[in-house]
Amino acid sequence: MLLHPQANCTTAPKTASSGTQKRKPPMPDKINLVNKLALFDETWTPKIIGALNGQLVKLAKLQGDLTWHTHTGEDELFLVLEGSLTIQFRDSEVHLEQGDMYIVPKGIEHNPVSPEGASVLLFEPEATKHTGNLIIDQTVTDQQWI
């Protein structure tokens, strides 16, 4: 027998104040982006993998193009994990490869396009809709945690 609970007890000794102290929440597990990306195949369907300070961290797979849209109140971050992505603007565009990051400023109309496909990490306020002020067939209103 390797364990001797009584001899190997890790419970902190009781103090006068221990009754009022809150139990510490468990520490979160680490998140592996490769493993998370393997959990889904749907395109243009952001999945939530983390939350902090009112913001959500999401993963999305892109293929083809989404739609022209604008986020009036939020900047939108794209970090390309795999593949490549072009973000079109009305008078210019930016091409992103693996490892590239771009933040679309709020109020700027844009259209993400990825003919070959891409996996991206997004970071945005909880209220942000991925199709901005447009509700279209591809709009996912209740985004899933994975």
Number of residues that bind Ni ion (CB under 5 A): 1
Dist. CA 144–CA 45, nearest whole Å = 9
Report whether 48 contacts 146 (CB < 8 A).
yes
As given in the structure block, the two tokens for residue 137 are: 């067939």
Q: Is residue 124 close enough to count as binding Ni ion by CB under 5 A?
A: no
- CB of residue 29 vs Ni ion: minimum separation in angstroms? 29
Position closest to Ni ion via CB = 76
Dist. CA 116–CA 114, nearest whole Å = 6
Q: How many CA atoms within 13 Å lie on the side-chain side of 70?
A: 8
- CB of residue 33 vs Ni ion: minimum separation in angstroms? 20
Dist. CA 113–CA 115, nearest whole Å = 6
Q: Is residue 76 close enough to count as binding Ni ion by CB under 5 A?
A: yes
Dist. CA 141–CA 126, nearest whole Å = 11
- CB of residue 100 vs Ni ion: minimum separation in angstroms? 16
- CB of residue 125 vs Ni ion: minimum separation in angstroms? 12
- Comparison of 32 and 105: residue with beta carbon closer to Ni ion: 105
- Comparison of 36 and 129: residue with beta carbon closer to Ni ion: 129
Q: Which stretch binds Ni ion (CB under 5 A): 26-34, 45-53, 75-83, 92-100?
A: 75-83
Interacting residues with Ni ion (CB under 5 A): 76
